[in-house]
Amino acid sequence: MSTRNLALRHTIRKATIKDCGLINRLAWKAFPPTYQAILTPEQIEYMMHWMYDEASLRRQMTKEGHVYFIIHVEGEPVGYVSVRPEDAFTRAKCTTWHAISTGRRATRFPKAS
């Protein structure tokens, strides 16, 4: 068996409005453990509702220009990333990137050329 066959299969797809519930669930799995050492439970709760409530996600996607992508490992959704345009030309800002632990050994994504 080649090492290529051992690599996890990573896929990234653009999210749609229908994915707001999935992004919300992924955020609840990823955000609190990531920030629990520096934020109080009350702050985490506030930020989760402010940023990841389904209505907030829909507003971000439809009115604020955010584009979300869902990251899958072996077909299972494990994370998300959000970008939004910064100007009318080509600049965009990555606003969010979170992934949950899958308990599997991670592999490296290929470097961009």
- The 10s digit of each residue's pLDDT in 67-109 is 999 999 888 999 999 888 776 666 555 555 556 654 444 444 4
- The runs of H, that is alpha helices, within 8-66 are 20-35, 41-52, 54-62
Measured distance CA(99)–CA(26) in Å, rounded: 8
Name the pTM for this structure: 0.73
- The 10s digit of each residue's pLDDT in 40-65 is 999 999 999 999 999 999 999 999 98
Burial of 57 (0-12, 13-18, 19+ CB in 10 A): buried
